[in-house]
Structure 1
Amino acid sequence: MTGTIALFIVFFILLIVISSSFVTVKQGTIAVVTVFGKYRRILSPGLNFKLPLIENIYSRISIQNRSVELEFQAVTFDQANVYFKAMLLYSVLNQSEESIKNVAFKFVDERNLMQALIRTVEGSIRAFVATKRQAEVLVLRRDIVEHVKEQLDQILENWGYHLQDLQLNDITFDDIIMKSMSQVVASNNLKAAAENEGQALLITKTKAAEAEGNAIKISAEAERQASQLRGQGVALFRQEVAKGMSVAAKEMQDAHMDTSVILFTMWTESIKHFAENSQGNVIFLDGSTDAMQQTMKEVMSLNLLHADKSKSK
């Protein structure tokens, strides 16, 4: 009976030793093995063998990407408070033994690592913002991220980590500054709208002036052509009248008649035309004998002038 119990105890101990000799490491994780507190080796994902009771699993390190949110304040060169909300994405540098050793032994625990990482990022951003003015900060997101990466790459590499990305999700200022910035934007928008409206009005006025000028030019050209045609018509009318009078006068001379009858007829026809087309206007004519003779002489002179021109042609 005693031998059976002893055999059972030996079997149980062997079972514990054998079971503790195999270690399962999850995917995305690296196990760090120590022997009596001293680093020995690392175990890759999968089923691994270790010396029972001698080798010990010191820690399991995730090689997956990790993120942390940050909220902190900085002060610009012109003493304006800037409030940042950021997201930090980082991971283990690589799966090399040296990097894993740095991750495992550089910090006491994860909390100390996070504290150092966050404070380093905040300090780098604060140092950069302190050299810029408040009006410049909003347009320097990319520059801030590049500055932080440049400053932290060497530091994080010594810790066994790599900064994957830094996203500045929100950049705000004190309420009074945000209000003043909104007023500046609103005033600039109003100014731009006024300038656009002025440009549109100027274009409209210019186009209207051009159209009016073109209309005046067209009207003037049409009036010029009409005047020219009227002048040509009057000249032709006078020419035909002169020809008719010349023919009539020659026929009356051949018939030994007084040619003044023609002038008298023209005089009466003119008075008749005035009366029919005067539209109510009053026309005063000197009907005395002297005035009639004077008019006759002027008409005869005009007739002789046209006759001379006809002969010269």
Structure 2
Amino acid sequence: MEGVVIFLIIAVVVIVVLIVLGALLFGGLRTSLMFTVHSREAVIVERFGKFRRVAQAGLNFKAPFIDNTTRPISLRVQQLEVNIESKTKDNVFVTVPVAVQYVIKEEMVVDAYYKLSNPEAQIRSYVFDTVRSALSGLELDQAFESKDDIAYSVEQTLSTRMADFGFSIINTLVQDISPDSRVRDSMNSINAAQRDRVAAQSLAEADKIKRVTQAEAEAESKRLQGEGVAAQRKAIALGIAEQYEMLRKVGIENTAEQLLLMTQYFDTMQDVARNGRSNVLYLPSNPGSVSSMGEEIRTAMLQAQAAHEADKDGEADEARISAEQLREQEQERAERKRAEAEHRSRDAQREAQRSADNTPPWAHPGSGNQG
């Protein structure tokens, strides 16, 4: 029984000794003999508060009770977010978030640890100073356009100032320039008004082009229509002239004009009846109206023929006189024909009266009873 108790006491003592040794060796205390450093980190070993050396990644040794280790110093790329509120040249307050990416140089870990008491605060101060100096000379629109220039200026300033302290500036990013919400609304309204003005100008220009194009098209259409009408009239005139010559060749000379006019008249009547949209058509009720219309057309044709002959001979006055003479001859001829028609009509009436007077009494019904 006593042996068991002695064994238990020895086991407990061994365990306690092992725990104490482990704490002394690997506990990270001042009395520890060994310590480890992770990758991309560095630890400074001090002896009685004085710099001794820089411990790199892996297993490291130090003198217990004499040497002390600092907190691990990261050698990775770190990012610091800085939000800066400043005023532009045109008195607009803006918020500028800046991201600074930096790293501690391995060969300058001692300077980075001992020279700066609070590196992040000092980096913030440099960023504030640089950004505010840049924005004070720029208007709001220029600040938006110069965002990359501001980032480059901040990066150059930090690289120059922080290089002496063991910090290397990798990149500086000006993420945004955010004015007040009311300023943004005003800017949006101005941009919307400008875009509306540009849109209105574009629509007006398009409408102008459309109207000009339509006017040019209408002018071209009317020109072509006039040429078509002129060609049509020319073809009709040539056709009438050819028909007139054909009638003259076959011996129909005196009544050729009347025949052509009547033919054109009835062709026109047929075309109006076929293609006309009106339901009512007023036409002359007697042949005399058609005859007078034919006289006028024939006179116009004679005048045109006389003018054409005058143009060929260079004697316009004589052509005008001959045209008037032709018209007078035509009028005399028409008067003569009208007088002959009236004379024949009166002769026919007298013959009818004479025949009625020479009728025997038995030819009149009821005459015998009266006797």
TM-score using structure 1 length: 0.72
Distance between the aligned counterparts of 1:79 and 1:238, measured in 2?
Answer: 96
1:95 aligns with 2:106: yes
Partner of 1:78: 90
Match of 1:158 in 2: 164
1:40 and 2:79 matched: no
Please state how far the C-alpha of 1:35 moved relative to its aligned partner.
2.5
1:116 aligned partner: 122
Deviation at 1:124, TM superposition (A): 0.5
State whether residues 37 and 58 of structure 2, in contact with CA within 8 Å, keep that contact through their aligned partners in structure 1: yes
One-letter amino acid of the counterpart of residue 57, structure 1: T
1:221 match: 227
The answer for unaligned runs of 5 or more in structure 1 is: 249-261, 298-313
Instruction: Give the root-mean-square deviation of aligned CA atoms.
Output: 3.5
Q: CA deviation at 1:140?
A: 1.5
CA distance in 2, matches of 1:196, 1:74: 39
Compute the displacement of 1:10 (Å).
9.8
Q: Does the 8 Å CA contact 1:76/1:132 hold for their aligned counterparts?
A: yes
2:36 is aligned with 1:24: yes
How far is the alpha carbon of 1:285 from its aligned partner?
5.6
Distance in 1 (CA, whole Å) between partners of 2:265 and 2:206 is 58
Q: CA deviation at 1:45?
A: 1.5
Pick closer, same or farther for the CA change 1:275–1:184 going to 2, 3 Å. Answer: closer
DSSP-derived class of the 2:176 partner: strand
- Is 1:230 the counterpart of 2:236 in the alignment? yes
Higher radius of gyration, 1 or 2: 2
Report the secondary structure of 1:41's partner residue. strand
* Relative contact order higher in (CA < 8 Å, ≥ 6 apart): 1
Q: Hey, what does 1:142 align to over in structure 2?
A: 148
When structure 1 is superposed on structure 2, of 81-90 and 122-131 the one drifting more is 81-90
Deviation at residue 194 of structure 1 after TM alignment: 0.5
Q: Give the 5 Å matches for 1:163-178.
A: 163-178=169-184
1:48 and 1:31 mapped to 2: Cα distance? 10
Query: Matched residues in 1 for 2:144 and 2:175: separation?
Result: 12
Q: Residues of 2 paired with 1:271 and 1:134: CA distance? A: 88
Aligned position for 1:294 = 333
Determine the C-alpha separation between the residues in 1 that align with 2:331 and 2:17: 168
| Distance change (3 Å), C-alpha of 1:271 and 1:197 | closer
User: Residue in 1 aligned with 2:190?
Assistant: 184
Displacement of 1:271: 8.8
- TM-score, normalisation: structure 2: 0.62
Give, in angstroms, the shift of residue 176 of structure 1.
4.1
Measure how far apart 1:198 and its partner are: 1.4
Q: What does the per-residue CA deviation read over 1:124-180, in whole Å, with 9 as the maximum and x for residues that have no partner?
A: 100011111223112221111011111111111112112233333332223443332
Deviations 1:77-108 (A, max 9, x none): 2322222233332222x212xx2111110123
Deviation at 1:296, TM superposition (A): 9.2
Corresponding residue of 2:283:
280
Deviates more, 1:179-188 or 1:143-152: 179-188
**Correspondence for 2:312:** none
Match of 1:60 among 72, 89, 96: 72
In 2: Cα distance, 1:59 partner to 1:229 partner: 113
The answer on whether the counterparts of 2:244 and 2:260 sit within 8 Å (CA) in structure 1 is: no
